Structure 1
Amino acid sequence: MNTNHVKVRQLAKDLRKAYPRSPREKLGGYVIAARCVDKCRAFLLNMNGEYNYWPCSLASQWFDFTGITPEQFKEVVATGATDDEVARWISEHSHVKDADEVLKWNNRLRDMRLSDMSLQAQQYLEDYIPKCVPGHRPVYVWFDVYDLEEKRL
């Protein structure tokens, strides 16, 4: 894989100093995708800090749903593709073509309560939340964990 470092650098966020986009923010019609782009660009430039591009339990939800692999996605991001170009690529390569299915999936993820998650995820978050989320802020859904920790809520 050849990375166009110049183009990627122009678009990348330094995740050692800033947060990736909220999982609620859409790209190509999908929640989570914009965050995946931010993390992938930073990873390609070794600016990902504590953020993992892959493996990532949040990203795995999106990759599993679309049928896009982390490696395929990384290859297109490495070209220096803009958000609009990545969105078009997602549209062309996602196995999900029905906009209503995407909408339902987006809303399921937006509304996912911790009690709806796998036991393994619940066990992880049981320890993670008290360490990383402000104690005076309630977590109602999974995406709240990210947005509270990253000071968007």
Structure 2
Amino acid sequence: MGDLCGDMANEQLKQLAKDLSKEPPRSPRDTIAGYVIAARMLDKCRAVIAETNDEYHFDCPLDRLFFDFTEIDSHTFREFVATGATDKEVENFIERHAKKREKIEIIKWNNDLRYKSIADMPDELQEFLEGYIKEYVPKHRPVYVWFDVYDLEEGRL
């Protein structure tokens, strides 16, 4: 019976996982459980488990911002996602496991990331993005905030 449950979870996960070689993960602006980054992180996590992640990584520095803020363990998150959890089930997981915060704290954290200028980032990240933007963001498309880099590169803007 245990193998049957495992097979069903694996099949559910495969159905939910995007093939990131064909379509990008969701925008970092998209939310799950009220947190930016979470939907994108979930797409990458599913794809890594299903081995359809292409060049995308789970538990990368962007994902770490979410894990550090919510104090959710990335390995525990990944194990839960591997059960074939739906977006709604992941939302419930996050709500149960995230550090309890006032709503305004989450709003401020979201807004800080949504509207973070590259000029407000640490020097090493500014230096990295300077070259990255030239290589991967379409020419003559202005980058106003950090999340624009993802959305421009992946064709959402």
Query: TM-score w.r.t. structure 1 length?
Result: 0.95
Q: Does 1:107 align with 2:116?
A: no
Give the distance between the partners of 1:121 and 1:141, measured in 2 at CA: 13
* Partner residue of 1:42 out of 37, 44, 47: 47
* Partner residue of 1:80 out of 80, 84, 89: 84
Shift of 1:16: 1.1
What is the aligned length?
151
The answer for unaligned runs of 5 or more in structure 2 is 1-5
Write out per-residue CA displacement over residues 80-133 of structure 1, whole angstroms, 9 at most, x where no aligned residue: 110000001100100133211111110110010101111111111011000000
What is the aligned partner in structure 1 of residue 3 from structure 2? none
Structure with bigger gyration radius? 2
RMSD of the TM alignment (CA)?
1.2
The answer for unaligned runs of 5 or more in structure 1 is none
Q: Does 1:148 align with 2:152?
A: yes
SS in 1 for 2:134: helix
Give the distance between the partners of 2:94 and 2:49, measured in 1 at CA: 19
What is the aligned partner in structure 1 of residue 57 from structure 2? 52
Write out aligned runs for 1:4-153 (5 A): 4-54=9-59, 56-153=60-157
Write out per-residue CA displacement over residues 122-146 of structure 1, whole angstroms, 9 at most, x where no aligned residue: 1110110000001110101000000
Q: Which segments of structure 1 move beyond 4 Å, counting only runs of 4 or more?
A: none
